[in-house]
């Protein structure tokens, strides 16, 4: 329940039988805690549906006709920043799910899930948690878990730059030490992060520590 009322769910899915199943079964398995207040099979209408019905949570099928589920997630997020969004798919390909998370979804659930098994994840998302199947979480963590840069992978200049980053040196401080411009340091740092397949200095420093490059 949300403030003493049933949790309002909107569905963005172009499979009528799946939608009808959720409309009938979500209230039943939740003991009336959850109700489906609106649905659309048109991804381009998702944002307007959410603005009109103001649900607590939106379930979005990722495999829909153009503009598609991922764009629907992004449109909903822009239209209603506070609504919780859970992406769904019957496909095992993790890439659409990852794109949906980047677009603003708080979680992902497979459409093969039993309706009764959806209740707790949906309540968790409403409680502020992100919900992902273990396999998808493993895919997301694999690049970080797998990176262990060996000395041979970095040249001497890259190792030196990584040492400065790991020591917490600023761009200005690194520029002074290397006798180059700050712009050059930024360019070299961006190249190094791409090589290490990380997105921030913090991640690069953690990898440096785990690999003994300090």
Q: Are residues 122 and 158 in the same domain?
A: no
Domain that holds residue 207: 147-211
Q: Is the peptide bond before 67 cis (omega within 30 degrees of 0)?
A: yes
Sheet with 107-110: strands ordered across = 34-40, 7-12, 57-61, 84-89, 107-110
Instruction: State the maximum Cα–Cα separation within the chain, in Å, rounded to a whole number.
Output: 69
Domain end, chosen from 111, 143, 175, is at 143
Q: Are residues 180 and 133 in the same domain?
A: no
Q: Are residues 107 and 122 in the same domain?
A: yes
- The answer to whether residue 81 is domain-embedded is yes
Q: Are residues 87 and 159 in the same domain?
A: no
pLDDT in 10s for each residue of the chain, 214 residues: 666 689 999 999 999 999 999 999 999 999 999 999 999 999 999 999 999 999 999 999 999 999 999 999 999 999 999 999 999 998 878 889 989 998 999 999 999 888 888 989 998 999 888 888 877 776 666 555 554 444 447 788 888 898 888 877 888 989 999 999 999 999 998 888 888 877 777 777 777 766 665 5
pTM to 2 decimal places: 0.66
Q: Are residues 162 and 67 in the same domain?
A: no
- The answer to whether residue 2 is domain-embedded is no
Q: Are residues 128 and 88 in the same domain?
A: yes
What CA–CA distance (Å, rounded) separates 214 from 211? 8
What CA–CA distance (Å, rounded) separates 68 from 43? 6
- The answer to whether residue 191 is domain-embedded is yes
Q: Are residues 121 and 159 in the same domain?
A: no
Q: Are residues 61 and 116 in the same domain?
A: yes
Q: Are residues 127 and 47 in the same domain?
A: yes
**Domains held by the chain: number:** 2
Q: Are residues 76 and 110 in the same domain?
A: yes
Report yes or no: 96 and 62 within 8 Å, Cβ to Cβ. Answer: yes
């Amino acid at each position: 329940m949300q403030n003493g009322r049933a949790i309002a769910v909107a569905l963005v899915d172009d499979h009528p039988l799946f939608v009808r199943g959720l409309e009938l079964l979500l209230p039943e398995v939740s003991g009336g805690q959850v109700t489906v207040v609106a649905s659309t099979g048109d991804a381009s209408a998702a944002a307007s549906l959410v603005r009109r019905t103001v649900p607590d949570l939106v379930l979005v099928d990722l495999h829909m006709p153009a503009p598609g589920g991922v764009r629907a997630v992004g449109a909903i997020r822009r239209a209603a920043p506070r609504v919780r969004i859970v992406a769904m798919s019957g496909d095992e390909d993790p890439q659409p799910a990852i794109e949906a998370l980047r677009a603003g979804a708080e979680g992902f659930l497979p459409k093969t899930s039993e309706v009764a098994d959806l209740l707790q994840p949906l309540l968790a998302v409403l409680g502020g948690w992100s919900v992902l199947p273990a396999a998808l979480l493993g895919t997301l963590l694999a690049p970080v878990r797998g990176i262990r840069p060996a000395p041979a992978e970095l040249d001497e200049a890259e190792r030196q730059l990584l040492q400065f980053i790991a020591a917490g040196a600023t761009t200005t401080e690194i520029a002074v030490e290397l006798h180059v411009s700050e712009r050059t340091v930024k360019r070299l740092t961006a190249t190094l992060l791409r090589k290490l397949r990380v997105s921030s200095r913090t991640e690069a420093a953690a990898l440096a520590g785990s690999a003994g490059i300090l």
